[in-house]
Amino acid sequence: MKPNIGIMAKLFLWYFVLVSIFYGTIVILFIHIQEIVRISEEVVNQNYRISTASKKLIDSLLWMEENISKYDLLKKEDYKEHFVSAQREFEENLNNILTLPSEREASESVWRGIYHDYLAHVPPAYGAAEETESAHALWIPVEIINGWIQRISRARTKNEQEIESEMRRLNRRGRTAVQYGMVGLAVSILVGLLGTYFLTHSMNRPLRELRKGIGSISRKGLSDPIPILTKDELGQLAAAFNEMAQRLKEEERMRSDFVSMLSHEIRTPLTSIRESVNLIAEEVMGPVNERQRRFLTIASDEITRISELLNHLMQISRLEAGLIEIDPKPLDPHAFVIGSVHRMAPAAEAKGISLESDVPPGLPRVKGDADHLQQVLLNLVGNAIKFSPRGKAVSVRVEIVEEEGGEKVRFSVSDAGPGIPEDEQGLIFYKYYRASGVRQQVDGVGLGLSISKQIVEAHGGAIWVKSQVGSGSTFGFTLPVLREG
């Protein structure tokens, strides 16, 4: 079963995942950067300070040593002073190292060892030395100083190694942070794209089905139920659409049943009326004068018109219910067109219209129900005559055309009538539709083209119109060529 998640919830979920990845990446980067800052602070505050101070320590010790040697040779008081200032500097730098936080915490360290040794050898202050009158009491033995220099040098080298290893750690951390950042970026791009794809996909499919259903309703007035693909708002919309389509179908069926029932009911009394009118007109009931005959003719024409209308109404409901059977047989287009033109000739003549036909010889045969197809052609020619002004020409053409799906025979009827506005051309094939320009002026009920369309489509053909307001119309239909032999 599909989970019942709405569009909003899906969007939120997607947004939440994206934001989690985004903030997750930021948190990881933040932790790494903090570590990098900590390591670099350690290096700067401790190792570098030890490095500089230890260098100064060595310098001071060397300076002390030099002054001892010089004093021993030259006995000048200045060397004593220099020695003492070097000693102070030494103490100061050693102190600098010992006050570093890491040194304070460390229980054992080289620097502390040197410091203790130094305290053991520390000479009396400069003034006090003079009082002892022994110059050598002032000095720290040179061997001791050398020992310290060596110890400091070793500690210094160790410190340099520590700096190097910390630098490597920094580099590793930096690289890992970059990797995490890249992975986070890639994952968020992937999730973003996949989310967009799945969300649009999950909305597009139901929308496509809905569009198909709506298209079918606007074309045919009916639609089959569309599949309900999701359980979100679009799924609900699809369900509501199906309900509406079902109701439309039901109402259409009821209307069609009603029209069919009504037509049947009217047809029986109409036949009796027609018979009675005919009997009177044939003077079976006694002589009829000229005036009475005129009225009888009008009545007979009207009865014919109504029964044609009833026939059309019944035919369309039977076509829609699939009750009319098409009995296809090989059909010669030439004979078929000539026969129809011949039948329409009196109507054309009555309106002073020249009815022309252009049927090349040797056309291939088509497969169709001659009666039904003739009804189509008669309807098209009849409309052309009906809508053409007096004295114009109507021409019927047949030609062979190459279309998608093979060779077809195309029948077309052109007139020089008023034409049909472009926005109405798609509508005239619907039942009862009549173009706005002719509705008031020309008789009709708007069923002929709808019936023709159904008949042509039942033959696997297509019906069409090309028209321009003011310059006439061409109606036509194509039928597939019969493959013989």
Contact footprint for ligand ADP (CB under 6 A): 379, 383-384, 387, 415, 417-418, 420, 428, 434-435, 438, 444-450, 473
**Collapsed DSSP state (helix, strand, coil) of residue 431:** coil
- Give min distance, CB of 216 to ligand ADP, in A: 21
3-state helix, strand, coil in the chain (%, to 5): 70, 10, 20
C-alpha 129/C-alpha 403 separation (Å) is 124
The residue number with the shortest CB distance to ligand ADP is: 444
Answer yes or no: are the C-beta atoms of 149 and 140 closer than 8 Å.
Answer: no
- Give the nearer residue to ligand ADP in terms of CB position, either 7 or 445: 445
C-alpha 210/C-alpha 241 separation (Å) is 8
Number of other residues whose CB lies within 10 A of the CB of residue 126: 16
- Give min distance, CB of 388 to ligand ADP, in A: 7
CA distances from 317 to 256, 288, 303, 313 (A): 6, 40, 21, 6
- Give min distance, CB of 252 to ligand ADP, in A: 18
What is the DSSP code (8-state) at residue 481?
B
- Give min distance, CB of 450 to ligand ADP, in A: 6
371 Cβ contact list (under 8 Å, min separation 6):
none
- Give min distance, CB of 389 to ligand ADP, in A: 11
Closest CA to 316 of 381, 362, 379, 358: 379
- Give min distance, CB of 425 to ligand ADP, in A: 9
C-alpha 238/C-alpha 222 separation (Å) is 15
Retrieve residue 31's tokens: 């932790």
- Give min distance, CB of 424 to ligand ADP, in A: 7
- Give the nearer residue to ligand ADP in terms of CB position, either 444 or 480: 444
- Give the nearer residue to ligand ADP in terms of CB position, either 303 or 384: 384
- Give the nearer residue to ligand ADP in terms of CB position, either 38 or 255: 255
Closest CA to 359 of 332, 388, 379: 332
- Give the nearer residue to ligand ADP in terms of CB position, either 213 or 419: 419
CA 161 to chain centroid: 60
- Give the nearer residue to ligand ADP in terms of CB position, either 176 or 357: 357
- Give the nearer residue to ligand ADP in terms of CB position, either 173 or 431: 431
* Length of the chain (residues): 485
Closest CA to 110 of 59, 62, 154, 144: 154
- Give min distance, CB of 344 to ligand ADP, in A: 13
- Give the nearer residue to ligand ADP in terms of CB position, either 6 or 444: 444
Q: Could you please report the per-residue DSSP string of 269-336?
A: HHHHHHHHHHHHHTTTTS---HHHHHHHHHHHHHHHHHHHHHHHHHHHHHHHTT-SPP--EEE-HHHH
- Give min distance, CB of 206 to ligand ADP, in A: 36
Answer yes or no: are the C-beta atoms of 399 and 364 closer than 8 Å.
Answer: no
- Give the nearer residue to ligand ADP in terms of CB position, either 331 or 353: 353
